[in-house]
Structure formats: structure tokens, C-alpha cells
Amino acid sequence: MAIKPCALLVFPVALLLLAAGGSPAAAQLEVGYYSKTCPNAEAIVREEMEKIISAAPSLAGPLLRLHFHDCFVRGCDASVLLNSTEGNLAERDAKPNKSLRGFGSVDRVKAKLEAACPNTVSCADVLTLMARDAVMLAKGPSWPVALGRRDGSVSSATEAADQLPPANGDVPLLTKIFVSKGLDLKDLVVLSGAHTLGTAHCPSYAGRLYNFSSAYSADPTLDSEYADRLRTRCKSVDDKAMLSEMDPGSYKTFDTSYYRHVAKRRGLFQSDAALLTDATTRDYVQRIATGKFDDVFFKDFGESMIKMGNVGVLTGAQGEIRKKCYIVN
């Protein structure tokens, strides 16, 4: 079944330059980077993504998450895709990344690009384009993606465990992590909106349901009725099999209902609930939760994704163009 794409949001060139955050490497990225070397690159990615999401709509969230988890460790260099080797435990095998999915889809898209344009399109650019298309095909916004990233050759599980934003983080900690990547408080609350897509394994939120603290058995910031419902699915902190929708009833569609859940104290993670503890993030949550500012959120999300996609990029002679995304050349 064909999926109707969302209209492309218009972003001024000035924003794309501003989003480079003053980084010399990010400034070398450009929209249409492959126009001469692989002119159909974006169309090839889009065509494969349409097939992937049409067959498995639930993959939109995981493919977006892959890009997030890549950019927060060593920048957007596709290091999250590398396999572990005998002497190195890679990012994808770090505890926070054990539940990542979509690697096979990335390999599928990369293979199509290699067949059309060998040794040309980086895995880092593939991930960035797939994340954008995943959002758009889930009825979310689209945005221009500046390209020209190169692939890194280092991938460390230890770095991933240390640098990824934790699901139980509070706003000060999360802000510190975001600022270290050139992102700010607004990016934090906007990119949290990605939790409108996908599911989460029980251990990532079970700590809110059982033995929360010496004073409370469950997190008091979690709506009690919602907590009861979660317990019917997540039987204990050790339940690793059960999944819960991060945006109940709408986890395959990119929309603003996530913010309505958070505003009602029904965010799945502590990091979601934390957005109500800071005046700036709370105001944004409550505004978008009204359902009257979907266009504002869509525009904000595109802008924040452009900024995140420029974090720590390798360009020019840095890095390499991997032939297969899971192994260095």
C-alpha cells in the first residue's frame, strides 16, 4: 500500500547554516551534496524506505532512534552500526543499545546505493536520510538534509554507556548532555517528542513501578491509573520480554499526542516526566499538548533534527565511505 508523504517544511538557508553550530566540518555539509556523484541517492533511500515502512510501520521509531543513538556518541558518523570485533565491544552492544533495531533495513538501503553508486554515499548520510524519511512516512514533517558526512572507524560500548541520555535522567543532567553536543533546552523538549514513535522494553521504565524509593513503591509523578495499567504488562523489573508503547494508541504515527500523555503525567520514562519539572520545558509540553500547535512542533522538530544531524560530523578527507555499514573497509 502506498504511503502518502507529508509536505516538505520550508527551511531558510540561513537556518541550515546556523544549525551547523559554527563547526567547520558541519559547514561543509550541503543539500544536494550527491547531485553529481549519485543524483538519485535520496530517491533511492526514499523508495526503499517506503517499502520498509509500508511492510513494517513499527520500524519508523527504531530507525529514528538509531540516528539519535549514533549522533550522541562520537557524532553522526555511523559508529553505532559497526559490529563488535574480537578486541572491541562496539556501541551497538552497549547496555543502552541492546534494544536497538533496524540494522537490517540500513544494510538493505546501503546495498541499493552501492549497486547504483559504489563507494559514494556514506552510512552516516544513509542513517540521517532514513531517520528523516521514517518520520515523514509516519505522517510527520519532512526537512532538507544537508549531506556529505563521512563514516567513523571507532565504536566503543563504554562511550555509548557514558554518553547516551539516560531514560531516568532529570532536566539538569539531560541539558548538560545536550549542551555538550551543541544542543539546548528547547532541542531537549522538542526531540523528546520523538517518543511519539516506538515501543520500550520493561526494564527501561520498571523502576518507576516497583521499589521506586524508600518512601514510595511507585514514582509519585506517574499517574496512578496509568501505573496500574503498565504493571499488567510489566510484571517485574526483570521482565525483559514485554514491550509498552511510548505513545499509547499512536506509536506508529508521528503526532503531538506524546505531549498530551506527558501533560497528564503519563510519560513512560522518568526523562519524560522530568519535562514537567522545568518551567521552560513544561510550558512547551503544555502548549503543544493543546493540539493547536501541531505545525509549530513539526517545524521545531525539523529544526532540531537538522541541528542534531550536524553533531560531530566527519567531512572532507576525514573518515571513510564504508562499503558495508557494519564493518570498516
195 a known binding residue?
yes
159 a known binding residue?
no
Q: Which amino acid appears at position 38 of this protein? A: C
278 a known binding residue?
no
255 a known binding residue?
yes
The residues, ordered by sequence, that sit 6+ positions from 27 with a Cβ below 8 Å of its Cβ are: 17, 20
> Which residue is it, cell 529514528?
64
73 a known binding residue?
yes
Which segments of 166-213 are extended strands (E)?
199-201
Spot the catalytic one: 67, 69, 201, 261: 69
Instruction: Compute φ and ψ for 253, nearest 5 degrees.
Output: -120, 130
Among residues 67, 71, 82, 75, the alpha carbon closest in space to that of 155 is found at 82
Rounded-to-integer distance, Cα 238 and Cα 245, Å: 18
Is residue 18 classed as helix, strand or coil in its secondary structure?
helix
75 a known binding residue?
yes
88's grid cell: 572491541
261 is catalytic: no
91 a known binding residue?
yes
Among residues 141, 130, 138, the alpha carbon closest in space to that of 44 is found at 130
Helix segments in 20-170, DSSP class H: 24-27, 41-55, 60-71, 103-116, 123-137, 157-163
Q: Parallel, antiparallel, or unpaired: how do β-strands 243-245 and 199-201 relate?
A: antiparallel
DSSP state of 215: S
- CB contact at 8 A, 132 and 31: no
Rounded-to-integer distance, Cα 269 and Cα 233, Å: 15
**Bind-site residues for substrate:** 165
**Bind-site residues for heme b:** 195
Q: Which residues participate in catalysis according to the annotation?
A: 69
**Bind-site residues:** 70, 73, 75, 77, 79, 91, 165, 195-196, 247, 255
